[in-house]
Chains A and B, each alone.
Chain A
Amino acid sequence: MIEVENLTKRYGNILAVDRVSFRVDSGEIVGFLGPNGAGKTTIMRILTGFIPPTGGRAILSGFDIMEKPLEVKRRIGYLPEHPPIYNDMLVSPYLEFVSQLKEVEAKERTREVRRVMDLCGLTEVENRLIGNLSRGYRQRVGLAQALLGDPEILVLDEPTIGLDPRQIIEIRELIKNLRSEHTIILSSHILPEVEMLCGRVIIIHEGKIVAEDRPEHLQSTLKSSDRLFVQVGRAGPEVPESIRRIPGVISVFTEEKIPGGYLIDLERDEQKVREEVARVIVAGGFGLLELKPIRMSLEEVFVRLTTVESGSPEEGGKFS
């Protein structure tokens, strides 16, 4: 189990992580989603005890990372952003070495190394120099290393990066199978991946949690929120102006690709508002050609949550 309270990390003047709090129960897979530089890696590094937080607390498996770092480290498997592999070592001696660092019992060691090599599909390269392996294999060696010793908690920073589509599917299957007995935090850029693997998604932007929910919820919360597309025959500055005056409309954007197209953000997708929009356009004589609600994919939810729109700085506030 992982409990994080008001975690803060400051590098000089830069606030990399800003009062982040969340909780991950045993057996849960939680996905961190966010653009580059959002603070995902920093949070993971704090959780694994690689860097200390500036403020706040993180408790993993009942141990505070600041007070009992070694106890926490005994219970964590960590795959960093760049797999921590020594290029001048062979695959199986490398895993032997890591298993020693992770205090795997001497008599279990060979079996444990074999187990993770089987899991990650490394058996055919066990006697090759890590430096000569392809990107995908190196990533798998990194993952194998994290699984050694069967730790309670797995922290995986972009586990499928650099893999080809077939390998990605394999690794996802592997992570799915680990779910039952591990607590897993993973970060990703790939939304379908998070959607597929994670029971819960935490969207991080500029060091803050902007949304936290089950992936299907996250989608549906925003799905109905909200967007209308209209196309009018006679576009002009007065079109968005008059639409904006309708109560329930948050903002209006011009859709660049379609002449006379506008995107309208609504507070709620209410029939009343939709009717009103239609009425205003017709009454204004703009020539209504099309009006339809737009469904958002998780991708769009993500973009929307992590794009600060002018005029609505509290955009994500309602979810946190």
Chain B
Amino acid sequence: MKKIQALVIKELGSYFISPVAYVIIFIFLAVAGFLFFQILSYFNVQSIQMMRYPGLLDRLNLNDMVLFPFFHNVVVFFTFLIPVLTMRLLSEEKKLGTGELLFTSPITTTEVVLGKFFSAALLILVMLLFSFVYPLVILIFGNPDAGPILTAYLGLFLLGCAAAGLGLLTSSLTENQIIAVISAWGILILLLIIGWAAQSVGPTFGAVLQHLSFMEHFQSFSKGIIELKGVVYYLSFIFFTLFLTQRVLDSQSWR
């Protein structure tokens, strides 16, 4: 456990000593800010229009018209940033030869994988904390329901961790960071759009595909519902990817 902690501290240190963390957080906040501004302006236009029809005014809802679309749009960009965070975690160890220290130290591959994963998870948490300024604006100047904001954040965090697990897996497979990030993106895109095929393959298999979709489960989180199947999906996805990563590392020292 102490060694996992040591690894986490070391990795977080590397994120913040090199500009990687700052750049990623900055870009994430900039893009999220742009989205937020656009959605909020659109909401303004709509509310002015609705002024003319007082009957429709109670349809104006900050949760539905601002926060839901905001999360809905931000989540895609967010998902694609995660593999950039994780791409170097294991591939670099291999490339720089530092793996030779890590894997000849009295530390198990499971501890290595967990240490790397937790450091990515903590960085994701930091990213999400910073992005909280946008909902905070709504909370201060409006009166939205706070519940869906929190569940959306829980959803973002789980989804981010799942993407980090996947990123870690691809990073363990190669010593090239570009290959690691591109293959993680490929799998992520597939997981994002896999639901599209649902209509054309019949009801049973369609439902399976629907459930595999990365976004599908986030929907309910952003609507304020914590669904057990969503939580289970993300947690088992994390477990599965970390397990595979550990196997990959183990097998590499066996070849």
Contact = CB atoms under 8 A, between A and B. Distances in A.
Nearest to B112: A101
Given A86-B14, A89-B13, A89-B14, A52 B106 contact: no
B101 A145 contact: yes
A74 to B, nearest CB: 5
B86 to A, nearest CB: 16
Interface in A52-99: 52, 70, 73-74, 76, 78, 80-89, 93, 97-98
A98 B14 contact: no
Interface stretch (A25-33, A43-51, A182-190): A43-51
Contact of B98 (A74, A84, A93): A84
B97 A89 contact: no
A189 B6 CA distance: 36
A40 interface: no
Contacts of B9: 97
Contacts of A200: none
B200 interface: no
Contact of A48 (B14, B18, B97, B104): B104
Contacts of A76: 104
Contacts, number: 75
A48 B2 CA distance: 22
Most buried by A among B17, B98, B99, B100: B100
Give chain B's interface residue range (CB within 8 Å of chain A): 20 to 34
A74 B3 CA distance: 13
Contacts of A80: 97, 100-101
Contacts of B101: 78, 80, 84, 98, 101, 145
A90 B5 CA distance: 18
Interface in B1-33: 2-3, 6, 9-10, 13-14, 17-18
A102 interface: yes
B103 interface: yes
A88 B17 contact: yes
Interface in B98-130: 98-108
Nearest to A85: B98
A270 interface: no
Contacts of B102: 84, 101
B28 to A, nearest CB: 21
Contacts of A78: 100-101, 104
A85 B102 CA distance: 10
A100 interface: yes
Interface string B211-255: 000000000000000000000000000000000000000000111
Q: Identify whether the interface residues of A are mostly helix, strand, loop, or mixed.
A: loop
Contacts of A129: 17
B232 to A, nearest CB: 34
B137 interface: no
A87 B107 contact: no
Nearest to A129: B17
B96 interface: yes
B13 A93 contact: yes
A103 interface: yes
Contacts of B6: 97, 100-101
Contact of A51 (B3, B96, B98, B253): B253
B98 A73 contact: no
Given A86-B96, A89-B10, A49 B104 contact: yes
A77 to B, nearest CB: 9
Interface centre among B2, B14, B98 (most CB of A within 10 A): B98
Contacts of B254: 52
B23 to A, nearest CB: 14
B17 A98 contact: no
A151 to B, nearest CB: 10
22 contacts: A45-B100, A50-B103, A50-B253, A51-B255, A73-B105, A82-B100, A84-B100, A85-B96, A85-B98, A86-B98, A87-B96, A88-B14, A88-B17, A89-B10, A89-B14, A89-B17, A98-B101, A100-B6, A101-B3, A101-B105, A102-B106, A103-B106
Interface of B: 2-3, 6, 9-10, 13-14, 17-18, 96-108, 253-255
